[in-house]
Amino acid sequence: MRAIEGIKGGKFVVIGRVGMDLSPLDRSQTERASEMFVAMGGSSANTAAGLVKLGLAADLVTCVSDDAVGRYCLNQLDHYGVGRSHVRTIQGEERTSLAIYETRVEDHQSVIYRNNAADFRMDFPDVEGVDYSRFTALITAGTVFAAEPSRSAAFRAFELAKAAGLPIIFDIDYRPYSWPSPQVAAEVLSRAGDLADVVVGNDEEFGFMAGDIDKGRAKARDLARSSAEIVVYKMGQHGAITYVGDEEIPTGIFPAEAVKPTGAGDSFMAGFMSGLARGQDMKTAILRGSACASIVVSRPGCAPAMPDHDQLEAFLKDHPGPTAGPTR
């Protein structure tokens, strides 16, 4: 499969946002917090950090504001070893995204500041300045398509990556607060899904694209039979079904004591890609992604919680094993 061959190359260009995350240190409500834990966030940056921790290479393409928060993000990308030669610092009123979320599951609260977000300023020169021949696969998430000029620039990146022979890996990652309307989101995300070689999303996201939650699984199956080589349909605690052509591969999850609900999808993507890059079969690679998701929700932070290779292998060795997974 062309997509797997590119993934095996292990050099990813990742398009999308980087931001700052703040979490109350004592797992209290945000409004009662006295100290905050600070970490790098942003779905694409988290995935890039996870890839690097698992022994792969990743460069980020995005924009950050010319201020202390933007510089923090640049420093964090350096800390994690994520390439940032294509992260542009912009001047103006736009600001790098800031997320405040609690390290607790019960009554969890998240507040995302993405008003006039800096990453939405990514434009054609940003993606056209990338030498795609240096990479073997492209990864992006749905938030990059939520506003212009980022949306058109991301589609341009798809064109350039495909021309260079890179597979497109697309995490639907639908965040309603970023979009002008559900109708625009459904149309744009469906277009991106049709262009991708690998599509990853949860049941609600596929249902959203299909116009009905009950039609989401059929949407995932149809994508695998028409345009995508691999489609991963995630169902939370029930596991996932991966479609490869007409083949359906059900997998379970690794139960863990969660301390927060955030970061699982980003870590899943990094773990899944690392499994395929290491030559693992599809089911083993999916379970590797599921293990990474379980690790991240059981630790504070997102990027800091991403496991490295040794941590992941230790988890897989010590854990009693995944659940049976969904029925077909």
Query: To 5 degrees, how large is the angle CA 215–CA 326–CA 8?
Result: 90
Burial of 78 (0-12, 13-18, 19+ CB in 10 A): exposed
% the chain with pLDDT above 70 = 99
139: nearest Cα among 296, 3, 295: 3
Do 6 and 167 contact (CB within 8 A), yes or no? Answer: yes
The rounded distance, in Å, linking the Cα atoms of 45 and 102 is 20
From 129-133, 161-165, 218-222, 322-326, the region with the lowest mean pLDDT: 322-326
Q: pLDDT per residue over 166-188, tens digit each? A: 999 999 999 998 999 999 999 99
Indicate the Cα dihedral angle 93, 94, 100, 105, nearest 10°: 150
pTM greater than 0.75 (yes/no) = yes
Q: Residue 126 above 70 pLDDT?
A: yes
Cβ-count burial 14-30 (b if 16+ within 10 Å, e if not): bbbbbbbbbbbeeeeee
Q: Report pLDDT for 325.
A: 86
pLDDT band at 307 (very low <50, low <70, confident <90, very high): very high
Q: Report pLDDT for 282.
A: 97
**Mean pLDDT, the chain, whole residue set:** 96
Burial of 107 (0-12, 13-18, 19+ CB in 10 A): exposed
Q: Report pLDDT for 26.
A: 83
- How confident is the model over 49-69, as a mean pLDDT? 98
Helix (H) or strand (E) holding 202: strand 198-202
- How confident is the model over 263-283, as a mean pLDDT? 97
Do 133 and 11 contact (CB within 8 A), yes or no? Answer: no
Q: Residue 247 above 70 pLDDT?
A: yes
pLDDT band at 326 (very low <50, low <70, confident <90, very high): confident
Complete domains list, the chain, with CATH = 2-318 (3.40.1190.20)
The rounded distance, in Å, linking the Cα atoms of 236 and 255 is 11
149: nearest Cα among 230, 25, 62, 279: 62
The rounded distance, in Å, linking the Cα atoms of 29 and 8 is 43
Structure tokens at 321: 């094993």
Radius of gyration of the chain (CA): 18
Q: Report pLDDT for 327.
A: 76
Q: pLDDT per residue over 16-55, tens digit each? A: 999 999 999 888 899 999 999 999 999 999 999 999 999 9
pLDDT band at 164 (very low <50, low <70, confident <90, very high): very high
Structure tokens at 103: 């390290």
pLDDT band at 328 (very low <50, low <70, confident <90, very high): low
* Dihedral of alpha carbons 22, 26, 27, 29, sign: negative
Q: Residue 1 above 70 pLDDT?
A: no
Burial of 311 (0-12, 13-18, 19+ CB in 10 A): middle
Q: Report pLDDT for 27.
A: 82
Please list, in sequence order, all residues whose beta carbon lies within 8 angstroms of the beta carbon of residue 71, skipping any fewer than 6 positions away. 64
